[in-house]
Amino acid sequence: MFIDTKKKEINVKIVYYGPALSGKTTNLKVIYAKLNPKFRGELVTVDTKGERTLYFDFLPVEVTLPGGFKVKFHIYTVPGQVFYKASRKLVLKGADGIVFVADSSPDRREANIQIMQELKETLEEQGITLDSIPLVLQYNKRDLPNALDVDTLNADLNHLNVDYFLAVASQEKGVFETLDAIVKLVIKKLMSKTKA
């Protein structure tokens, strides 16, 4: 987080984390397509021919707080494929908030659990505990006929009992609820810090 009091500007980093193909890039594409251009910049995606994220995606979103402070959200996605762990570590550095996008497919149950564990470990390497950082979960692909039930997903992934959102990102469902929630959490933390 970077606060520029002269310019009344706060820079915040939000990272969409999760296993390969869970829908992280889809979330960003929906935000880009649906958000009033007044509030967002250009979407940068770095992907391969197969549309898999290679390094990261990036979208800047701007919100003005009452009192005139401008909050610039730098929203990133990580590449979920197992062998891009080094990229995930880099993208995660300095994150102020995390959206964990889980895949509701039963085939991806283990992948969800593994990458949640990786998230925890990577943060710890960076001196941060998962419970100290604003975090929300998104259970995506709820349209799958055999989607894992929510209790199972919570038991697997939501040990901290944070807010979770059901989504079908490819149909734009749940995307803004999730974004709203993480933005509010990050701003809340920011307010409590600046008051202290």
Smallest distance, ligand GTP to C-beta of residue 66, A: 34
Residue type present at position 10: I
Of 53 and 122, the one with the shorter C-beta distance to Mg ion is 53
List of residues 6+ apart from 99 with CB closer than 8 A? 14, 15, 16, 17, 27, 135, 136, 137, 138, 178, 179, 182
Q: What gap in Å lies between CA 176 and CA 169, rounded to an integer?
A: 10
Q: Is 52 in the site for ligand GTP (CB under 6 A)?
A: yes
Q: Is 45 in the site for ligand GTP (CB under 6 A)?
A: no
Helix (H, G, I), strand (E, B) or coil at 112: helix
Of 111 and 123, the one with the shorter C-beta distance to ligand GTP is 111
The span of 19-27, 63-71, 85-93, 181-189 binding ligand GTP (CB under 6 A) equals 19-27
Binding positions for ligand GTP, rule: CB under 6 A? 18, 20-26, 51-53, 77, 79-81, 140-141, 143-144, 168-170
